[in-house]
Chain A
Amino acid sequence: MLLAFLPKGVDMPFLMLKCNRKLPGRGKHCIAKSEEDIIPACDRATQPGDFTERACSFLGCRIVICGQIDNVIHLVHSPIGCAYYSWDYRPDSYGYCFTTDMQEMDVIFGGEKKLFDAILMAAEEFDADAIFVYETCTTGLIGDDILAVARKASEVVGKPVIAFNCAGFRGVSQSAGHKIANRQLFELIGTGEFDSTPYDINLIGDFNAKDAEVIENLLNEIGVRVLCSFTANSTIDRIRNMHKAKLNVVHCSRSSMDLAEMMKREYGIPYIEANFFGIGHCCDALRKIGKALGIDEKKVEEVIENYLNKIKSELEFYRGKLEGKKVFICHGVQRVLYLIEPFRELGMEIVGIATYFGKQDDYEKIVKRVGEGTIIIDNPNATELEEVLLECKPDLFISDDRTEHLVHKLGIPFIKGRGQRRAYAGFNGFVNFASDVYATINSRVWGLVRSVSEG
């Protein structure tokens, strides 16, 4: 059915969408999975003029990685825009906005002095554990040496001042910003002193505080202590002690694998990839972590068994109601990879996938995990999504706020993949998720949306 809108003469498996007809560059980014395991073109700069959902490396650094760290002053060295828009970008976050508010004269004569003064003022006025300084397009272009300013200021204020060269024009997407953030924060690791146990781990690459809390508690039950959730629920002190862990559990490898690699090289800490979304993933994660730390297998199985019994009947109810429903997933690539299996566990069919900044190995994994005919789009834009959704009419679209209102205007049930009001990770979290998916799809309002003839 999904292949229906492939016009004759176009080679499988590339999808020639109507909106892309005159834009051959985009054609190769959209495929329907075929036997040949071809992946969409990816990891390329956005085509100029696209209504892309991608962001810049400043977002990847300032909001995704650094924004979650508690009690830090995030000083954005920029004209007002970057600072204002990154201020509580996530609806559930709450913090102050600090900016050098660069003016025309500062752009002409340089803003290093202004930045230095701002760091000193911020340190004097607010009691924070550290001050993070972010470069943006303008301050990057005029060549302000924020690393040097931060070094000098750190000596004066006597606390860490960490600078990030994350100007928005660096890299093809926010993904570049993750690396910049990790590289700088790595410098903090190993500066703390602390007595560790053989059962201490770090959770790397989880950026949702509610999920991180649930995962930490779950791991406690098998006798594992999380030293630091990097960066949800993290503090400067927790990051300083990360080198004391016996194992790193990498949750989002796209954003955090480089940090795990650096820690392996520098401190000899091994890492495994695992995630806690969905029943299968959750069991695997507990078993893998248990095995890596030499925890009694029986203890781990007991915990798993206990949870499975508790949630069994509820999950069966939701599975019965959701069986066969079609879902379209549009997210950062890691969340896409985590969502495929859990939706299967709910009996749902994946009809389409779109990711903002997946790379070749990510798409290879995705293609292996989905059924034939599944649509896969790299770096989707609003016009493409609209066309595809009207064609494949999913029962549910799962994404983040970028696409929420477009999907709503198409009358398609929408849910956010990040649990905002409650956690989606862990066993109970998955029941929360199933119940939200069920409630979304079955909301009466979708049936009240009228169709009218155009005119």
Chain B
Amino acid sequence: MKVNPPKMCQFLGAVFATLGIYRAIPLVHGSQGCVNYVKHLLTQHFREPVDIATTGFHEMSAIHGGIDNLTRAIENVAHRKQPDLIAVITTCLSETIGENIYAALKKINEIEAVAINTPSYVGAHVIGYDNAIKSIVAALGRQGERTDKINIITGIVNPGDVREIKHICREMGVDYTLLTDITSLDRPLRLPKEKFPKCETSVDDIRNTPNSKATISFGIEGISGAEYLTNFGVESYNLRFPIGIRNTESFIATLSEISGESIPDSIWDARDYVIDAMVDANSVLRNKKVAIFGDPDKVIALTDFAFEMGLRVTAVLTPLKTRHFVPEIERIADENDAKIAVFEDADLYQLHKFIRSNPVDLLIGDYRGRYIANEEGIPLLRVGFPVADRYGYHRKPMLGFGGALRIVDDVTNLLVEGR
């Protein structure tokens, strides 16, 4: 049994990846409830309309199979929206029945449709995201003339984070393709309403990804897609999430190495502003005990950053089991003479029990940390996805120096207010 597990199911990750492609529609092959829930969560976080279609499984389709529903659904979506891409995303329902959606999609010619397998009884949202990126790239990618572009697989991050990545690339003069660009879920309000929310990544951009110079991915979120692209001679650089000083530096150094562009003063300025803020807040931050939870690779990078800020991380938790999590946390503990309790494949109730007997000054994670924070009376720094009980957190970055500055300021103020 899990109590308060901070993980979502695979198909949410696939929906997330698809929504960052301009004129793409996710079509979820399952019960209409699945779509309702994910849509609900996404709209609570982003406060934007989200178009997700459902094949609407019912009792009969559960018994006799839903391929007929799927074919009709694709026609329906094609007529209604005329998208450039339909991503057919499976659920535990269609996976349990064992539907062969690949065979069904072979018969669809009039519209581009990609199948993404995302059984929710395996892994979690970050795995679904990874599967989606790989499936989309594999289905759409076409070998052609080499370009100077760098593919950047962002992982499940916020529009604020994507803007940080774009900012860094622009400052450096690096040409990029984002897989994918979720700024589509943070759009200005003006009339008339856009038929499809704008973002930078088009289906054509994705077709062209096998011709890029290199792919940068962060942790496990997108690694399969990056590895797939190495078949086309696109070199894969798998980094830590650019959270905090050293991790952001290594992202920027990698961009510089691949592109041959030098690092401009504006980026050094941005970095040194953060250092200034960290030094100013040192008396507040140093020695404060922190627990961090969330997606494995973001927790690793956040833990790195926490120590850079002078915080002492005493516990980390991730809902998954991954190859790198424990060794990475051990590395950080060694580097900082720290003892960190590690919870893998765990739930927030386990962390709660740990914190009850080992109190901390601050909790970092998504809004599901509120149960621990409320009941123990400790501040919670809301980062990542989802943050459904506050407004505007999708605009707040965690990546890059902009994200670092925001985190330093927010953590400091939370600790000051809590005193």
Contact = CB atoms under 8 A, between A and B. Distances in A.
A83 B32 CA distance: 16
B170 interface: no
A402 B40 contact: yes
Interface string B48-59: 111111111111
Contact of B33 (A22, A56, A452): A56
A382 B56 CA distance: 15
B58 A84 contact: no
B355 to A, nearest CB: 15
A185 to B, nearest CB: 20
B35 to A, nearest CB: 8
B80 A450 contact: no
Interface string B1-30: 111110111011000000000000001001
A177 to B, nearest CB: 9
Contacts of B190: 449-452
B53 A59 contact: no
B36 A54 contact: yes
Interface stretch (A100-108, A321-329, A346-354): A100-108
A269 interface: no
Contact of B49 (A45, A172, A409): A409
Given A22-B79, A59-B33, A104-B122, A49 B73 contact: yes
Interface stretch (A7-15, A137-145, A241-249, A288-296): A137-145
B48 A99 contact: no
Given A48-B69, A405-B49, A406-B49, A81 B120 contact: yes
B228 interface: no
B8 A141 contact: no
Of B54, B73, B80, the most chain A CB neighbours within 10 A belong to: B80
A2 interface: no
B76 A49 contact: yes
Interface string A238-266: 00000000000000000000000000000
Contacts of B119: 79, 104
Nearest to A140: B62
A107 B43 CA distance: 31
Contact of A117 (B1, B32, B50): B1
A173 to B, nearest CB: 8
Contacts of B52: 51
A386 B51 CA distance: 12
Interface stretch (A89-97, A200-208, A210-218, A275-283): A89-97
Given A141-B96, A449-B190, A80 B81 contact: no
Interface string A49-75: 111111111110000000000000001
B37 A86 contact: yes
Interface in A97-146: 97-104, 106-107, 114, 117-118, 121-122, 125, 137-138, 141-142
Interface string B210-240: 0000000000000000000000000000000
A449 B191 contact: yes
A168 interface: yes
B271 to A, nearest CB: 36
B72 A81 contact: no
B41 interface: yes
A410 interface: yes
Contacts of A137: 30-31, 57, 62, 91-93, 96
Interface in B359-387: 368, 371
A401 interface: yes
11 contacts: A19-B80, A47-B76, A48-B56, A48-B72, A79-B9, A82-B37, A97-B2, A107-B121, A406-B49, A409-B49, A451-B192
Interface of A: 19, 22-23, 45-59, 75, 78-87, 89, 91, 96-104, 106-107, 114, 117-118, 121-122, 125, 137-138, 141-142, 168-174, 382-383, 386, 401-402, 404-406, 408-411, 449-452, 454
